[in-house]
Amino acid sequence: MNVQFKKGVLELCVLILLDKQDRYGYELVQKISEKIAISEGTVYPLLRRLTKEGYFTTYLKESSEGPSRKYYKLTDSGREFLHELLEEWKEFSNGVNQLIKEGVRDE
């Protein structure tokens, strides 16, 4: 898949997954990788930036499989940002889908 496509939607994917429940970084990578091929290294800088911008808070939680894990929790401003991005995504994807319908010849 085109790298620019992935970069554009990765932020939205992370926010959507954290809207449902708190998750740790590697868990986010695994969940997204089930649908979109991504590398682990693309998610962590995004998590740091979104945390710095106030969209997430973090906390440590004990793990039975090793050291404590850093969990990310969506803040109220993160939830607002998610809903803004979802609206933008719907408008954008509807526009692209319309252009595809109008422009692609079925031959």
pLDDT in tens, 59-89: 999 999 889 999 999 999 999 999 999 999 9
25-42 confidence digits (pLDDT tens): 999 999 999 998 888 888
Question: pTM here?
Answer: 0.85
Distance, C-alpha 102 to centroid of its chain = 30
Helices (H), 1-107: 3-20, 25-33, 40-52, 76-103
The DSSP H or E segment spanning 65 is: none
Please say whether the beta carbons of 41 and 35 come within 8 A: no
Residue of 96, 44, 95 lying closest to 72 (CA atoms): 44
Q: How far apart are CA 25 and CA 47, in angstroms?
A: 8
